[in-house]
Amino acid sequence: MNLKELAGNLGLSQTTVSRALNGYPEVSEATRLRVAEAASRLGYRANASARRLATGRAGAFGMVLRTEAYGPHTVEFLGGLAERLFHDEVDILVSTVESAEEEAATYRRAAASKKVDAVILSSPYPDDARVHLLNDLGLPYLLHGRSEGAPPHAWLDIDNTGATERATNHLLDLGHRRIALVNGPKGMTFANHREDGYRAALTSRQIAPARSLIANTIFTDEMGFRTAQQMLERGEPPTAFVAGSMMTALGIFRAIRAAGLELGKDVSMIAHDDVFPYLNADNMVPSMSTTRSSIRAAGTRVGELLMQLLAGKSPADIHEVWPVDLVLRESTGPTPVK
Amino acid sequence: MNLKELAGNLGLSQTTVSRALNGYPEVSEATRLRVAEAASRLGYRANASARRLATGRAGAFGMVLRTEAYGPHTVEFLGGLAERLFHDEVDILVSTVESAEEEAATYRRAAASKKVDAVILSSPYPDDARVHLLNDLGLPYLLHGRSEGAPPHAWLDIDNTGATERATNHLLDLGHRRIALVNGPKGMTFANHREDGYRAALTSRQIAPARSLIANTIFTDEMGFRTAQQMLERGEPPTAFVAGSMMTALGIFRAIRAAGLELGKDVSMIAHDDVFPYLNADNMVPSMSTTRSSIRAAGTRVGELLMQLLAGKSPADIHEVWPVDLVLRESTGPTPVK
DNA sequence: TCGGGATTTGAAATCGCTTTGGATGGACAT
DNA sequence: ATGTCCATCCAAAGCGATTTCAAATCCCGA
């Protein structure tokens, strides 16, 4: 069932049918209804490729997953994004790549073959090479995160600096002095921001951040465990942890237990919570204090902002920093008296 | 830069250039080289929509994620799939849905608008309604898993029954008699299969499976924790767990610790491991005995099988059961003597 | 009754590719 | 010299929508 058949069926021209279906004003309400009825009765839907060719719009956004960087966050983000895009019938194209070269090649392809109208970058670096590339290619894009050295671009980010600063400050208020930061991979903007916040809090109380209490790892249970275990074995172990993710937190938690310590009493922890449906800070035992910001909601908003970008809004006007909640639960307590 | 321009540039017809680029035999090697060189020099790539319209092939596979069912597995699977599809330039379209109705609508849309050449279903039920729908729609598809009551279809599955049976048998060999099965959601084919394997092992030793030792939950740390905690608090607690996923296992592990027990000594556990790069059974403490099967590899293979399906192979000839490794590590030990 | 503006409808061009059905020319055998 | 057969190449017809430009119809006041 294509447009021609449908039009023939109705005794109308393709033009009119197309207009009726796409909500153009120059078609009478009566025919619009007739067309809509026939279309749904006959199960007609415009052929996506034909429409794309004719309009020049791909009706799809792209997202490249780097094998070393994707994890549970990704699906959660995608979920939010897809939810927003569903009603506009915009598709999401995902590709995975193994290297920066492959990633660049993927963007070039996508741009040249006009497969997508825009792409989403996540976990950027300051002055991210991909931003430069996409600018050169003229392919619209939006960063989930920021790339501060790079040319102006649209982005949505959470206030990592503020969140980490508040978390650290809270631990300081509780009397903690040796606070560990188990951060994300070195060099990424968000990890820098978190370290900034951490340092700011300590420095404001004249505490020198100890190099040995700062770790950069990927966000996994395993790395959390290893990192925390090493820190706890050392001479001056931390009495509190600021964890970069809930995965990391689970590993740190195991290490604390393995060291014979009790979370919330001997050692405190505040973890960053991206709000996974299957990993609830409230239901942990003890429940976990967190800096919380839904990554799913971010995905939804990114979809919204991308629609605005394509509608003509300037990238320079698309900047959004989301505040982060600090939710105190049982995993944080005063420094134990020795 | 489109085909016409490129052809003009070369002093050739669009026909010849198109053929040269697509590897058709009726073009001389000399011109093929000349064309290839010019194309790469000028950065020409065929417009995806135009090609799709002309060929009638969408060059994309679809995958619908149900919000309640996706998790870390999904991305891992997608990663494998994308890797295989990259070189054939087949895209992956993902959509998320909140309900079965939305999912059905998505398939109908996709079929009518010819957005995808095939779709992938995961975590099916026996006699899955989606299989019927896709058959009716004439949209090719492949199941990751099986749907036993449904009409013939292409599928790739792992041997869940065998894996669980072996795991259970191993625990029985170690002397365990009260073995808990923390399974996936009730009703899904794979969960049924696992329960089958579990029951088979017990029954072969004249042990009646206790209803209280079988749980059906989603695969999350939290549910693992809750389930295990309840079981351990009861009168006759299990001495061993068969866990449906590594997430579940982490939660069970916490519950075991919380109960003051030691994994691998007081209580044993074998978990199913889909092989996440960020959750390594070897590196846990104690290391985790597992039934292992890479879900990423499955994704890759599914891509391969789908290509074959579209190449004309009959769905009835596309059935693959993967054996599952049983990897024994430190989390399994003999029943403690009371 | 007629003219003119507004409202509806259509014919045909267009998007950029693939592919069918020839054309062209050279090599080779007759 | 002529016909046959390849090897190459091309013009033009799709693919199924959108959109431009123009025509037909309707309504209403003069």
Compute the residue count for chain A. Answer: 338
Asked if the Cβ of residue A31 lies within 7 A of any atom of strand D, the reply is: no
Bridge partner residues of B157 (DSSP): B321
CA distance B113 to A2: 10
State mean pLDDT over A176-200: 97
Residue A269 per-residue DSSP state: E
| Strand C bases with any atom < 7 A from protein Cβ | 7-12, 14-21
Q: How far is A329 from chain B (nearest CA, A)?
A: 16
List C-alpha distances in Å: A156 to A153, A163, A313, B84.
10, 16, 15, 32
Residues A101-108: contacts with CB under 8 Å, at least 24 apart: A103/A64, A103/A66, A103/A130, A104/A129, A104/A130, A104/A133, A106/A64, A107/A64, A107/A133, A107/A134, A107/A137, A107/A139, A108/A133, A108/A137, A108/B43
**Contact yes or no for B51/B42 (Cβ under 8 A):** no
HSE value, Cβ hemisphere, 13 Å, CA-based, for A254: 29
Euclidean distance between CA atoms B131 and B145, whole angstroms = 12
Alpha-helical regions (H) of A43-143 = 48-55, 72-86, 100-112, 129-137
Strand C reaches within 7 A of the A58 CB = no
What are the chain B neighbours of A52 within 8 Å (beta carbons)?
A: 49, 52
Chain B partners within 8 Å of A43 (Cβ): 108, 112
**Beta-carbon separation of A71 and B219 below 8 A:** no
Alpha helices, DSSP H, located in chain B: 3-10, 14-22, 29-42, 48-55, 72-86, 100-112, 129-137, 160-173, 189-203, 221-233, 246-258, 295-310
Q: DSSP strand E in chain A: where?
A: 60-66, 91-97, 118-122, 141-144, 154-158, 179-183, 214-216, 240-243, 268-273, 289-292, 319-322, 325-327
Model confidence at B252: pLDDT above 90: yes
Let me know: does A61 contact A93? Beta carbons within 8 Å: yes
CB spacing of B67 vs A47 below 8 angstroms: no
Rounding to the nearest 10 degrees, give the CA dihedral for residues B213, B215, B221, B225: -40
pLDDT digits (tens, 9 = 90+) for B51-60: 999 999 999 9
* Alpha-carbon dihedral A30, A86, A281, A293, rounded to 10 degrees: -100
Please judge whether A94 and B82 are an interchain contact, meaning their C-beta atoms are less than 8 angstroms apart: yes
pLDDT for the residue numbered A288: 97
Question: B153 with B130: CB under 8 angstroms?
Answer: no
Cβ(A35)–Cβ(A10) under 8 Å? yes
At A232 the three-state DSSP class reads: helix
Q: What mean pLDDT do residues B191-212 have?
A: 97
Q: Which residue of A has its CA nearest to B255?
A: A285
Query: Do residues B244 and B183 make contact, with C-beta atoms less than 8 angstroms apart?
Result: yes
CA of B27 to C1' of D4 (A): 22
Could you say which of A114, A221, A250 has the minimum Cβ distance to residue B47? A114
Say if CB A101 and CB A116 are below 8 A apart.
no
- The enclosing H or E element of A20 equals helix A14-21
CA–CA separation, B165 and B152 (whole Å): 26
Under the banding of pLDDT at 50, 70 and 90, the label for residue A338 is: low
Cβ proximity of B168 and B201 under 8 Å: yes
Quick one: pLDDT at residue A71? 74
C16 C1' – B51 CA distance, angstroms? 7
Residue labelled with tokens 């309900």: B99
Tokens (6 digits) for A215: 């770790």
Q: Which two three-digit tokens encode residue B268?
A: 């044993």
Average pLDDT over residues A165-194: 97
- Per-residue pLDDT tens digits for A240-259: 999 999 989 999 998 998 89
Please give the DSSP secondary-structure letter assigned to residue B145. S
Residue B338's pLDDT band, with cuts at 50, 70 and 90, is low
| Strand D contact with A223 (CB < 7 A) | no
Nearest to B254 by CA among A245, A227, A253, A278: A253
Residue B111: closest C-alpha in chain A: A45
Q: Is the Cα dihedral A276, A279, A283, A286 positive or negative?
A: negative
Question: Is residue A66 classed as helix, strand or coil in its secondary structure?
Answer: strand
CA proximity to A236, closest of A195, A194, A176: A176
Is strand C less than 7 A from the beta carbon of B18? yes
Q: Is the CB of A50 under 7 A from strand D?
A: yes
In terms of CA atoms, which chain A residue is nearest residue B43? A112
Q: What percent of chain B has pLDDT over 90?
A: 86
Q: Give the one of A49, A65, A82 whose C-beta lies nearest to B96's C-beta.
A: A82
Hey, are the CB atoms on B49 and A53 less than 8 Å from each other? yes
Of B94, B114, B222, the CB nearest to A279: B222
Give the residue from chain B lying closest to A74, CA to CA. Answer: B75
Give per-residue pLDDT as tens, A22-62. Answer: 999 989 999 999 999 999 999 999 999 999 999 999 999 99
Q: What is the pLDDT of residue A74?
A: 87
β-bridge partners, A94: A63, B92
* Contact by Cβ (8 Å): A74, B75: yes
Q: Among B74, B57, B54, B58, which Cα is nearest to B66's? A: B74
pLDDT in tens, B25-37: 989 999 999 999 9
Answer whether A258 sits within 8 Å of B285, measured CB to CB.
yes
Q: Are A140 and A310 in contact (CB under 8 A)?
A: yes
Higher-confidence position of B244 and A87 = B244
- Which nucleotides on chain D have any atom < 7 A from a protein Cβ? 7-12, 14-20
The dihedral region occupied by B11, where left means phi > 0, alpha psi between -120 and 50, and beta the remainder, is left
| Per-residue pLDDT at A278 exceeds 80 | no
For a pLDDT cut of 70, what percent of chain B falls above it?
99
Retrieve residue B315's tokens.
Answer: 């769905």
Q: What is the bridge-based pairing of β-strands A240-243 and B319-322?
A: unpaired
Q: Which tens digits make up the pLDDT trace of B103-140?
A: 999 999 999 999 999 999 999 999 999 999 999 999 99
